[in-house]
Amino acid sequence: MGAQHRGAAVSVGLFDPLIHAPHRLQICAILDTVDKTEFALLRERLDVSESVLSKQVKALEDAGCVKVTKATRAGRVRSWAAFTKAGRAAYRDHVAALRAIVG
């Protein structure tokens, strides 16, 4: 049972090039430890611009791995990212594949 990426099934334990891109891999590693996180924290942890972060999160969102929500607080719109069930499974499968590669 694999996660869905761009309309194709991803088998369990397969190396996932979508997730493996450095910034996306870092985003996934952070999301795997929380229920959701604010974009500002992701931007700070990755040390990237807002546009770079948005592009990377959008790729994960388009693949069905991440859900983005927005909320207004103190007059400011804040964006939050969270794994979908399929996204968390795909990330963990990717990590398992990496472990198999490195032994």
Find the helix or strand (DSSP H, E) in which 82 lies.
Answer: strand 76-83
- In CATH terms, 22-102 corresponds, of 1.10.10.10, 3.30.460.80, 1.10.1270.20, 3.30.460.10, to 1.10.10.10
Q: What is the DSSP string of 29-75?
A: HHHTTSS-EEHHHHHHHHT--HHHHHHHHHHHHHTTSEEEEEEEETT
Ordered by start, the domain boundaries in the chain are 22-102
Q: What is the pLDDT of residue 6?
A: 47
* pLDDT tens column, 44-96: 999 999 999 999 999 999 999 999 999 998 889 999 999 999 999 999 999 99
- Distance between CA atoms of residues 25 and 28, nearest Å: 5
In degrees to the nearest 10, what's the CA dihedral of 69, 63, 46, 75? -20
- Provide the token pair at 80: 């939050």
The DSSP symbol for 100 reads: H
- Distance between CA atoms of residues 40 and 5, nearest Å: 26
Lowest mean pLDDT among 2-11, 75-84, 94-103: 2-11
Q: What is the pLDDT of residue 1?
A: 35
The predicted model scores a pTM of: 0.84
Q: What is the pLDDT of residue 5?
A: 52
* pLDDT tens column, 10-41: 444 588 999 999 999 999 999 999 999 999 99
Confidence grade of residue 101 (pLDDT, cut at 50, 70, 90)? confident
